[in-house]
Amino acid sequence: MSTIGFIGTGIMGRHMASHLQQGGHELLFCPHRTPTPAALLDAGGRDCGSPRELTEHAEFVITMLPDTPQVAEVLLGDDGVLAGLSQGKLVIDMSSISPIETKNFAAKVLTASCHYLDAPVSGGEVGAEAGTLTIMVGGPNNAFERARPLFELMGKNITRVGDNGAGQTCKVANQIIVALNIEAVSEALLFASKAGVDPARVREALLGGFANSKILEVHAERMIKRTFDPGFRIALHQKDLNLALSSARALGVSLPNTATAQELFNACAGQGWSDLDHSAMARALELLAKHEIA
């Protein structure tokens, strides 16, 4: 069993860390903005004073943070992960961040004779709690194989997509698909409801057809029942679509429907809904229609 340093025990990270503990690994934590959940400490986890201290005592270091600046802070700060690295350690970033900056982080870790994997995840809190996350990995194959037993404790669909940065690029692509699917389901249910048809029955009917999707299964129910407590916050999906649109500009690619989805999220943010689940995109369309899915 290994000693794993884990930084970022928020909505998803706390469940991911718990699965690693249940797999028999020793977990070290470094609180980042919020305290380490008591359940992780009660299960044998131990807090460290800094990312550097955590790294000095761990074989693997996993980060699960909100955005690129936080990952940069934890990795490159004066008492950061990079300062605590010694030959052979493996840094795994499971956040969703910039593919370009990911390549820079990997290069800095390599100078310490260590490897770096970008391994963002999809599946939300439900997948994190169930240990069924999709994990998209970028980095050297030997490092991927070394980390695979850890990934298998947290997820089910685990794919090495390519070299460093490829995992983050894949996650951006994932977030484009998810956002557009949320928009499509929102529009469909709003249309049906405005036409006087029960959206719950429409959802039930569509689940058996070609329109079926995870978004229709999970998020359509949220829209109908008005349960928008966050599994994945609008603010985080806005961040991911910003990455998509800025990367598209750099590549000279047009993503018109991604831009529309981002504007709907922006409308939600303008209403003070940034901390609601991303399925609450439907509420922006409801404002335009002056009609609520119900």
Phi-psi sector, 196: left (phi>0), alpha (psi -120 to 50), beta: left
251 by Cβ neighbours in 10 Å (0-12 / 13-18 / 19+) ranks as exposed
Task: Find the radius of gyration of the CA atoms of the chain.
Answer: 20
Measured in degrees and rounded to the nearest 5, phi and psi for residue 45 equal -70, 160
The residues, any chain, with a CB within 8 Å of residue 95's CB and separated by 6 or more, are 8, 63, 64, 65, 66, 67, 70, 71, 120
Q: Which of 89, 103, 156, 171 is catalytic?
A: 171
Measure the CA–CA gap between 41 and 145, rounded to whole angstroms: 29
Type of residue numbered 217: E
Q: Which residue, chain included where needed, has tokens 């947290």?
A: 154
Q: Is 239 tagged catalytic?
A: no
Measure the CA–CA gap between 290 and 294, rounded to whole angstroms: 13
Kindly state the helix (H) or strand (E) to which residue 279 belongs, with its residue range. Answer: none
Cβ atoms of 70 and 48 closer than 8 Å:
no
Phi-psi sector, 88: left (phi>0), alpha (psi -120 to 50), beta: left
Between the alpha carbon of residue 113 and those of residues 82, 85, 89, 100, 209, the distances in Å are 11, 9, 8, 21, 52
Q: Which residues are catalytic?
A: 171
